[in-house]
Structure 1
Amino acid sequence: MKNMKISRRKMLIRSACLTIGSLFIPISYATAVNGNRHLSKGLDLIHKVLSRPLDVSISHLNKCLSSGKIDLENHEGFKDYINSLITVFNGHHHGEDEILFPTFEEKIKGADFSKLKKQHKEIHPIAEKIKDKINVTDPSFDNYEEIRNLLQKMNDLWIEHRDEEEGIVELDMEPLISSKEQIELNDKLSKHGRDMSEPANLILPFLIYNLEGSDRDTFTDDMPWILKNFVVPIIWKSKWEKMKPFLLA
């Protein structure tokens, strides 16, 4: 009976931690910055979170392919890493399509995001193919080669999209939106991101540990101390630890 009570208590604690953590996942732009660059600074951070895993994943697969050996030891962690990348990608771009772009189009006469929207539509079918191919128990050499080629194609499209989007938001859009409006927009994007961020015990570590230094500090600035210093690195470690070879943890 005593052991059952302890187990139930542990389950309740873990459930509470998961719930708390899911409230602080900034998939889009919810980040506190100085001055009036709320949107572009947040955009820069989430773009770094998305860019690094593409480079890391392609490098990992190239290493496996050049050695002629599948890294079965780290495949489950790599699978979690890729799945987290796709989840963040989908959440980020869905937030732009549903919230960010329509808001700009409503507030700014002549704002045109048709090219960026078209790029989203080009990238996401590739991301879904990657997700389908990574979620296998026994990956083959051909399987890894297909994933590498898809990631490379996705990365090429992503770099073009990322650079163009950052220029449009920072140079053309952000100066026309007040600080108050940017913060309100951040709040909407943040809520949307949280709704699309499952499981939190993989997504939040993925977000935090693909950044380092001042970028990580800025990204986690609004998170409760107990979440970023206890829940994520200790309570949730058993959930995300398999991804560690690919993270800055």
Structure 2
Amino acid sequence: MSSSDVENPYPLISLPTVPYLAFVNEDLAAYTSCEMALIHNVFIRSMNSIWRNAPLVKPEDEIAFAGYSLCCLTLIHDHHHGEETILFPFFETKLDMSHNVEQHESFHAGMDAFEQYMNQVFNKKDKYDGEKTRALLKAFADPLVQHLHEEIPTISEERLKLLDQEGLQKVSDEFEEHIKNLPGKLTVFPFVMTHHNFEEAPNWPGIPAPIKWFARNIAPFRHYSYWKFSPYTRAGVPQKYSP
């Protein structure tokens, strides 16, 4: 195993070769599948970042790291809730999504344990321990990352084309509204922006320009200390936490 593998134990999902957003209005099935791969990579990068940084966190950065980790969990919870309540019920008119839901359940207990510990650290009720953090992370990240990879073929462009396309457009719009209306815009927005490789998909996320500007130039400053742990700066430049 190379040093980079040790630092980043979880592999990213391979993206489609067609540039993202090139087919937005022409092929909703392709757009939706690509969208899911991109947000899943955001989650995987966050798992890698928590793993890589956990033993390096300086005492003065422990609360910020706990806040950063809690942002990650919030985003994953919100994403899965949207899938289970908006997307999957429609997908199941033609596709079997039961395994996806079962996989969601398989790592919830581990996520809850990690979340409880990070909340204790954040509220200064427990001492931060880098090795404990890694152990709690691995307990749920191993099955979570496996799920993130395995879900993509179940929502591939080919499978989504089996669905009623007007219905797909409707639930896609509902899911987009769900995302826009999520609380925590001063955490969720900068989290996504600092865990995305803009060289791979420069036009993602597909949100209006003013919102994207807010996410990059205003939102990060409310919890500025969190984003030093992200793999990219708010401008999209690769970075590493320096202990």
Name the TM-score class by shorter chain.
0.7 to 0.9
**Contact residue 87 and residue 172 of structure 2 kept, 8 A:** no
Aligned equivalent of 2:155? 169
One-letter code aligned to 1:219 = W
Higher relative contact order (CA 8 A, sep 6+): 1
**2:37 aligned with 1:78, yes or no?**
no
For structure 2, the 5+ residue unaligned runs are 1-19, 234-243
| Cα distance in 1, alignment partners of residues 22 and 77 from structure 2 | 25
Aligned equivalent of 1:50? 43
**Contact residue 45 and residue 215 of structure 1 kept, 8 A:** no
Counterpart pick for 1:156 among 121, 134, 142: 142
Q: Which has the larger radius of gyration?
A: 1
| TM superposition shift of 1:178 | 5.3
Aligned equivalent of 1:205? 190
| Cα distance in 2, alignment partners of residues 46 and 119 from structure 1 | 17
| Cα distance in 2, alignment partners of residues 122 and 73 from structure 1 | 34
Count of matched residue positions in the alignment of Structure 1 and Structure 2: 206
| Cα distance in 2, alignment partners of residues 216 and 170 from structure 1 | 18
Aligned equivalent of 1:238? 221
| TM superposition shift of 1:216 | 5.4
1:3-42 correspondence to structure 2 within 5 Å: 32-34=21-23, 35-36=26-27, 37-42=30-35
Counterpart pick for 2:99 among 110, 115, 128: 115
CA RMSD after TM alignment: 2.3
| Cα distance in 2, alignment partners of residues 238 and 48 from structure 1 | 24
Aligned equivalent of 2:111? 127
One-letter code aligned to 1:75 = E
Equivalent position SS for 1:213: coil
**Contact residue 84 and residue 202 of structure 1 kept, 8 A:** yes
| TM superposition shift of 1:171 | 5.8
In structure 2, relative to structure 1, the CA distance for the partners of 1:220 and 1:71 (3 Å cut) is same
TM-score by length of 2: 0.76
Poorly superposed stretches of 4+, deviation over 4 Å: none
Q: Percent identity?
A: 21
One-letter code aligned to 1:49 = V
| Cα distance in 2, alignment partners of residues 173 and 125 from structure 1 | 30
Equivalent position SS for 2:146: helix
**Contact residue 205 and residue 232 of structure 1 kept, 8 A:** yes
Higher helix share: 1
TM-score by length of 1: 0.74
Q: Deviations over 1:125-146 (max 9, x none)?
A: 21121111012226535x4333
